[in-house]
Structure 1
Amino acid sequence: MPTDITVVLGAVLLDLVLGDPRALPHPIVAIGRFISFLEPRLRRNVASERAAGCLLLLVTVGVTYSVTSLMLVLAYLTTPGAALVVGMYLGWVSLAARSLHQESAKVAYALERGDLPAARVALSYIVGRETADLEEPEIVRGAVETVAENTGDGVVAPLFYLVLGGPALALAYKAVNTLDSMVGYKNERYLEFGWASARFDDLANYLPARLTGLLMVLAAPLCGLSGKNAWRIMRRDGRNHSSPNSGFPEAAAAGALGVQLGGANRYFGKIVEKPTIGDASKSLSLEAYHGVVRLMYTSELLLVVAWSGVRYAAKLAG
């Protein structure tokens, strides 16, 4: 099924208005259960952990793409309108802008009430670091970093693959993303088994992460922020991250907001010093959080507008 503009616009609008459809059958949940089903069986039956992990990646992504394509074909054989509805639904569940905003906003709401304990608890649901002793600036930093990073892999990347190859490719990307979140850890259990999933996730996010940074640079002036500084910091600090990709949206956001991200975090009782991103021209306050949310939505809008413009120009040229 070609990437119909109705499918893309419908998916984006459904996500913006309704958020994550948790009350409905959710393909991402099904993908997670499929991974959990395959993992112990592959570990038992494949001698090499790395080979088992490679097979997990191939089977999960292949089945996701094939099942999604089959659903679209069957819907189209019913009526073209049914294919549009199914396509919009599958595109909708691949996007996470509203969900990201809702979950991170719980942190901001608690801070606005002056309830630090509640803010720490809310932050603990969206970050991996320990949050029990964090003060307000560090809580805000965690929320800003989460929104900036996930604008890449939760908003722009799935939208990029949706416009590139339709719902089947968008959900194949989400399968890669889910694999990385479930098995892509650098610990004893998953170092070899999750190697392929982690590396492929890096590859799948390579272009979208850099596109996200560029979109944030372009979005910054529209949000009352500094596009010039976003560009400068992204070029300077985009690689100041353990991930080969996450640093680009974080650096663009830090530059646009005029804040410093990165630094010390506590994991399992140990302090981990991470490279800093950006300059501390402004304090990490709720203003920074609201600014990064505006950047997220505006970046998504810019991608939709740019793609729609290219499609329209191609139609005129054709």
Structure 2
Amino acid sequence: MTVVWVIWAAVALDLLIGDPRWLPHPVIGMGKVIRRVEGWIRQRTTSAQGLKRAGILLPVIVAGGSFVLTWLLLELCAAIHPWLAWGAEIVLIATTIAIKGLREAGLEVYGHLRSGNIAEARQALSMVVGRDTAHLDEPEIVRGTVETVAENIVDAVIAPLFFALIGGAPLAMAYRAVNTLDSMVGYKNEKYLHVGWASARLDDLANWIPARLTAGLLTIAAAMFSLRWKQAIKMVRRDARKHPSPNSGFPESAVAGALGIRLGGENSYQGVISFRAYMGDPDRPLEAEDIRVTNRLLVGVSVLFTMLGTAVLGLAAAAGGSLWI
């Protein structure tokens, strides 16, 4: 049952300390490798077809390398002492999830809104979204924050835990590499359309199951917190596939339904207006309290998934199945 305790310890560690700035984070190293590989590719080809073919190297090198390096590190630790390997596994898995960081990002915006400091709320939101925030009013600040927290429940919590349950820290770290690739090169613009296509598609594939699991868990959490769980189910069925992402619409529509609010609408990116499909019905105006409630759903879903996932692992172990440690 060591695996079960490793997963729980990793979640507890993230909830306790999050990602302190003084501690080197693997994502920083991944980002440096991505930039170097991208630069190497662009030095050797400039054609659309050449960039598309070479773009496959990015996930192979970065995600594959992250898996191999993590596995080798754990093997080295295990050769020294099993407890060292367990400790390393806990720390490494904890770096792939961000429950505390995501929650605190939402609460920072919430705190500024509660104190009436709109300028500081806009600034806090600008640190976690790509849209322009300088002229947003309070409802739009709330919308941006709720959308960000809801969407990131998948790639900052459920997906890395999902892969950790399947393949331990090596697979969780490979997922984090895929997600980092998508955030850096997975854009459908002139610069990254070709070189980043493989990274973007792999991220969509990796998040496909976790996104749908998240929508289901959000419905359960909504029922636990006496929110509109039936409406959450209805909005997922009606609106989830309207989102331009094949995955982001599932958590966003579930949260919109559970809170009885409407997400989506017009966003500005460097002055360019973009319309995002509506999620949910505008049964009431958006308010700062929606951020706090969304954070409750974030923590609730994180605990629910950890409970269910480790329960499945425990049953597999009891049935004689093999575990990854």
TM over 0.5: yes
- Other structure's SS at 1:131 match: coil
Q: How much has 1:33 moved relative to structure 2? A: 1.0
Which residue does the alignment assign to 1:284? Answer: 286
The one-letter code matched in structure 2 to 1:33 is K
RMSD value, Cα: 1.4
Q: How much has 1:316 moved relative to structure 2? A: 3.7
Q: After superposition, give the CA deviation of every residue in 1:147-204 in whole Å (9 maximum; x if it has no partner).
A: 0000011111111111111000001000000000111111111110111111111111
Indicate whether 1:142 and 2:115 are aligned: no
Which residue does the alignment assign to 2:114? Answer: 112
CA distance in 2, matches of 1:66, 1:22: 26
Which residue does the alignment assign to 2:35? Answer: 36
Q: How much has 1:114 moved relative to structure 2? A: 0.2
Indicate whether 1:100 and 2:102 are aligned: yes
Which residue does the alignment assign to 1:51? Answer: 53
The one-letter code matched in structure 1 to 2:247 is N
Q: State whether residues 76 and 83 of structure 1, in contact with CA within 8 Å, keep that contact through their aligned partners in structure 2.
A: yes
TM-score by structure 2 length? 0.95
Q: How much has 1:244 moved relative to structure 2? A: 0.6
Q: How much has 1:104 moved relative to structure 2? A: 2.1
Q: How much has 1:22 moved relative to structure 2? A: 2.5
Indicate the percent of aligned positions where both proteins have the same amino acid: 47
CA distance in 2, matches of 1:295, 1:235: 19
- Residues paired across the two proteins, number: 317
Structure 1 runs not aligned, ≥5 long: none
CA distance in 2, matches of 1:247, 1:102: 23
Q: Pick the aligned partner of 2:85 from 83, 86, 89.
A: 83
Q: State whether residues 165 and 313 of structure 2, in contact with CA within 8 Å, keep that contact through their aligned partners in structure 1.
A: no
- Other structure's SS at 1:28 match: helix
Which residue does the alignment assign to 1:214? Answer: 216
Structure 2 runs not aligned, ≥5 long: 321-325
Q: State whether residues 223 and 291 of structure 1, in contact with CA within 8 Å, keep that contact through their aligned partners in structure 2.
A: no
Q: How much has 1:3 moved relative to structure 2? A: 7.7
- Against the structure 1 CA distance between its residues 26 and 137, is the aligned structure 2 distance closer, same or farther, given a 3 Å change threshold? same
Which residue does the alignment assign to 1:13? Answer: 12
Q: How much has 1:46 moved relative to structure 2? A: 4.4
The one-letter code matched in structure 1 to 2:150 is A
The one-letter code matched in structure 2 to 1:30 is G
- Map of 1:127-206 to 2, 5 A cutoff? 127-206=129-208
Question: Is 242-251 or 19-28 further displaced after alignment?
Answer: 19-28
Which residue does the alignment assign to 1:231? Answer: 233
Q: After superposition, give the CA deviation of every residue in 1:3-41 in whole Å (9 maximum; x if it has no partner).
A: 811211111000011111321221111111111121111
CA distance in 1, matches of 2:272, 2:160: 34
Which residue does the alignment assign to 1:304? Answer: 306
Q: How much has 1:58 moved relative to structure 2? A: 0.8
- Against the structure 1 CA distance between its residues 29 and 133, is the aligned structure 2 distance closer, same or farther, given a 3 Å change threshold? same
CA distance in 1, matches of 2:188, 2:176: 20
- Map of 1:242-253 to 2, 5 A cutoff? 242-253=244-255
CA distance in 2, matches of 1:315, 1:124: 45
TM-score by structure 1 length? 0.97
